[in-house]
Amino acid sequence: MTFKIKFGTDGWRGVIAEEYTFDNVRRCAQGYASYMLEQGNVGKSIVVGFDKRFGSENFAASVAEVLAGNGFKVFLTDSATPTPVIAFAVVNTKSCGAVNITASHNPPADNGFKVRNETGGAIDPEGLLRIEALIPDSVESAKRLAMAEAEGKIVVFDAHTPYFEHIRKLIDLQPIRDAGLTVVVDVMWGNGAGYFTKLLGGGKTRIIEIHNERNPSFPEMKRPEPIRPNIDVGLKATVANKADILLVTDGDADRCGIGDENGEFINQLRVYALLAYYLLEVRGERGDIVKTLSTTNMLNRLGEIYGVPVHETGVGFKYVAPKMTETNALIGGEESGGYAFRGNVPERDGILAGLYMLDLMVRTGKKPTELLKILFEKVGGEYFYDRVDSAFSGDRATREKMILDANPKTLGGLKVTELVTVDGFQFRMEDGGWMLIRFSGTEPIMRVYCETRHGDKVQAILQDGLKVAGIK
């Protein structure tokens, strides 16, 4: 029986050599090719890139062969390439889309198949379902790599240099080079290696990269996801080097994590609010904000202060990217540390997010802890956040019914005022905070998140959320 491939938030991910095989990757490539042909992209080009996981370059070559066999010209990256760089390459080469072989922040045993459209951004949920439906049981139309290269159907190219040139148009890097900062950069054994060094080298600012070699087992971390405990080594390195900030990019460098000058993690919701503050206050720009329902209400407050609309979507850039394109949004982002910016492609960019954080520090002359104080003064006080992930047994439908039937009146002692079911189950509370239960789109786990104005209630809210979800 043919393995059934199911697309999640960004595409498909699976365990290498179990479900993630060359045959199944080729099947995915054929489904994507058929979808792109349906969309009227006959004879156009598609970008294919890959990360540093086990066998990624070989899986990417197989994808390129299938796409070439369907009549597409393929631009195949010459080395492991960050997701945002691949996204920009789509626009720069005037391609109709991209396939990226990466499992992003997943555990070492996994690999993945991300798909993108002509904007370089995520394909909407309807498009993902259509690709999934078009995946065949087997693939016939593949053109061997050497033959396709000889015929000019597959072109191995440098995606990095045009991206560097593009970044220099979005931000003046010289003041950052001249600032004399010490910056620790943890690239998590991933695709972000060398980017900050190349962009910011040659001045007074010192860039110290760690975990910048290829090692698909991701030593010193559970997975290349820019949250604790995965970044604990980076936080220690920040203190040891008396650095001003820690910048972290995940495995494919589309997500960004931040540590302050004291080696303390700044959660992603606070980073998102800082980036929005930077664009609105420091750069004086105006435009819509797009946020997933799992991220901070500080953005709503900033929207009120600066008079800009705030749009709330389901979780994942398959929702955020189309809304950003529709509204020409200034910034879009999600709880996981993925942030996208107007002027760039509608895709998460951990490299640009890190550069903007550095620019915020240089323009204000403030360290990260000082910037947080300014932010909290602006939005009227502190906001507190945390998340718990848990595996669950039984089928999803039964679990969802259990959550609805629980119908909690309070969480952590705070009154529940509303239930929102846009994506998962978000219980809104009397203090303006929320608790969200949702199922991961990429892994068999359930996530419980919360944000509240009461720091002493965070863990109690999460524990009540786990009880609502039927997890003791």
∠ CA 445-448-450, nearest 5°, is: 155
DSSP state of 121: S
Of 379, 408, 435, the last residue of a domain is: 379
pLDDT for 147 equals 85
* Token representation of residue 104: 């992003």
In a domain, 166, yes or no: no
Domain that holds residue 294: 171-379
Q: Which residues of 447-461 are buried (b: 16+ CB within 10 A; e: fewer)?
A: bbbbbbbbeebbebb
Distance separating alpha carbons of residues 418 and 29, to the nearest angstrom: 42
Q: Is residue 373 part of a domain?
A: yes
User: Would you state the pLDDT for residue 273?
Assistant: 98
The residues facing 248 across adjacent strands are 186, 257
Computed from CA positions of residues 388, 391, 392, 397, in that sequence, does the dihedral angle turn out positive or negative? positive
Q: By three-state DSSP, how is residue 111 classified?
A: strand
Token pair listed for 92 = 């720069």
- Number of structural domains the chain divides into: 3
- Kindly state the tokens that stand for 215: 């090692």
Question: In terms of domains, do 111 and 248 share one?
Answer: no
**Assigned token pair, 206:** 């010192």
Tens digit of pLDDT for each residue in 127-165? 999 999 999 999 877 778 888 888 899 999 999 999 999
Amino acid at 411: L
Cβ–Cβ under 8 Å, residues 412 and 464 = yes
> What region, left, alpha or beta, does residue 268 occupy, with left being phi > 0 and alpha being psi -120 to 50 degrees?
alpha
Pick the last residue of a domain from 326, 352, 379.
379
Whether 400 is in a domain gets the answer yes
Q: Which two tokens stand for residue 121?
A: 């951004």
| CB-based contact 202:196 (threshold 8 Å) | no
Q: What is the mean pLDDT of each run of 10 residues along the chain (472 residues)?
A: 85 95 96 97 97 98 96 97 98 98 95 96 93 93 80 95 98 98 98 98 97 97 95 98 98 97 98 98 98 96 98 92 95 96 96 98 98 98 94 84 93 96 94 92 84 96 94 76
Residues 391 and 314 in one domain: no
Within a domain: 229: yes
Scan for tokens 């309070």, then name that residue: 410
Residues near 11 by beta carbon (within 8 Å), at least 6 away in sequence: 28, 112, 113, 114, 115, 128
Residues 310 and 297 in one domain: yes
**Residues 238 and 330 both lie in one domain:** yes
The predicted structure's pLDDT at residue 144: 81
Count Cα atoms within 13 angstroms, Cβ side, for 121. 25
Nearest to 353 by CA among 462, 232, 226, 234: 226
Structure token digits, residue 263: 């080696």
Q: Hey, what are 136's tokens?
A: 């065949």
For residues 447 and 334, membership in a common domain is answered with no
Predicted pLDDT at 442: 65
Rounded CA separation 155/267 (Å): 40
Provide the 3-class DSSP secondary structure of residue 57. Answer: helix
Residues 435 and 389 in one domain: yes
**The pLDDT value given to residue 445:** 87
DSSP secondary structure code for residue 282 in this structure: I
CATH of the domain at 148: 3.40.120.10
Q: Are 354 and 439 part of one and the same domain?
A: no
Q: Does some domain include residue 3?
A: no
* Residue 188 sits in the same domain as residue 240: yes
d(CA 305, CA 122): 30
Q: Using the 3D structure, point to which of 326, 351, 379 is the last residue of a domain.
A: 379
In terms of Cα–Cα distance, which of 223, 191, 222 is closest to 209? 191
Asked whether the beta carbons of 7 and 27 are under 8 A apart, the reply is no
Domain assignment present for residue 336? The answer is yes
3-state secondary structure of 245: strand
> What is the C-alpha separation between 257 and 228, in angstroms, rounded?
10
CA dihedral 99, 100, 105, 106 (to 10 degrees): 70
pLDDT at 54: 97
Dist CA 246 CA 319 (whole Å): 29
The CA distance from 357 to 274, in Å, is 8
Note whether 234 and 184 are within 8 A (CB).
Answer: yes
- 248 and 109 share a domain? no
Q: Which residue has the tokens 């002027």?
A: 343
The one-character DSSP state at 184 is E
Nearest Cα to Cα of residue 354 among 200, 189, 222, 165:
200
d(CA 138, CA 26): 8
Is 133 found in the same domain as 217?
no
* 6 in any annotated domain: no
Tally helices (H) and strands (E) across the chain.
16, 21
Same domain, 359 and 374: yes
Instruction: Evaluate whether residue 4 is within a structural domain.
Output: no
DSSP 385-441: EEEEEEE--S-HHHHHHHHHHH--SEETTEEEEEEE-SSSEEEEETTS-EEEEEE-S
Residue 336's CB is within 10 A of a number of other CB atoms, namely 26
pLDDT at 353: 98
CATH of the domain at 444: 3.30.310.50
197 & 148 share domain? no
